[in-house]
Amino acid sequence: MFKGIAEEVKDKNPAIVFPEGTDERILKATVRLQAEGILKPILIGNKKEIFSKAASLNLEADTLTVIDPETYEFDELVEAFVKRRKGKATKEEAEKILKTPNYFGTMLVYVGKALGLVSGAAHSTGDTVRPALQIIKTKEGVKKTSGVFVMVKGDQRYIFGDCAINISPDSNDLAEIAVEAAKTAKVFGIDPKIAMLSFSTKGSAVSPETEKVIAATKIVQEKAPHLTVDGEFQFDAAFVPSVAMKKAPDSPLKGEANTFIFPSLESGNIGYKIAQRLGEFEAIGPILQGLNQPVNDLSRGCNEEDVYKLALITAMQGVTE
Residue ranges of domains in the chain, CATH in brackets = 1-137+292-321 (3.40.50.10950), 139-290 (3.40.50.10750)
Give per-residue pLDDT as tens, 207-264.
Answer: 999 999 999 999 999 999 999 999 899 999 999 999 999 999 999 999 999 999 999 9
Do residues 240 and 254 touch, judged by C-beta distance below 8 A?
no
For CA atoms 143, 316, 132, 128, give the dihedral sign.
Answer: positive
| CB crowding 43-79: b at 16 or more within 10 Å, else e | bbbbeeebbebbeeeebebeebebbbbeeeebeebbe
Which residues partner with 152 through β-bridges?
Answer: 157, 282
Give per-residue pLDDT as tens, 191-210.
Answer: 999 999 999 999 898 899 99
Q: Angle 24-35/47-56 helices, nearest 10 degrees?
A: 80
CA distances from 292 to 141, 222, 230, 288 (A): 11, 24, 28, 11
pTM reported for the whole predicted model: 0.83
Give per-residue pLDDT as tens, 44-74.
Answer: 999 899 988 988 988 888 888 999 888 888 7
Do residues 52 and 150 touch, judged by C-beta distance below 8 A?
no
Strands (E), the chain: 15-18, 40-44, 65-67, 116-119, 146-153, 156-161, 193-197, 228-233, 259-261, 282-289, 295-297
Q: Residue 318 — pLDDT band, cuts 50, 70, 90? A: confident
Residue 318 identity (one-letter amino acid): G
Task: Say yes or no to pLDDT of 1 above 70.
Answer: no
Q: Residue 125 — pLDDT band, cuts 50, 70, 90? A: confident
Give per-residue pLDDT as tens, 261-306.
Answer: 999 999 999 999 999 999 999 888 788 898 999 999 887 888 888 8
CA distances from 257 to 83, 177, 189, 251 (A): 44, 16, 15, 11
Mean pLDDT to the nearest integer, 27-54: 90
Task: Say yes or no to pLDDT of 4 above 80.
Answer: no
Query: How far apart are the C-alpha atoms of 114 and 145, rounded to whole Å?
Result: 20
Query: How far apart are the C-alpha atoms of 47 and 66, rounded to whole Å?
Result: 6
Give per-residue pLDDT as tens, 141-175.
Answer: 889 899 999 999 988 999 999 998 999 999 999 99
Taking all residues of the chain, what is their mean pLDDT, rounded to a whole number? 90
> What are the respective helix, strand and coil percentages of the chain, to the nearest 5?
45, 20, 35
Which residues partner with 117 through β-bridges?
Answer: 17, 295
Q: Residue 98 — pLDDT band, cuts 50, 70, 90? A: confident
What pLDDT shows up at residue 321?
Answer: 64
Which residues partner with 233 through β-bridges?
Answer: 197
What pLDDT shows up at residue 171?
Answer: 96
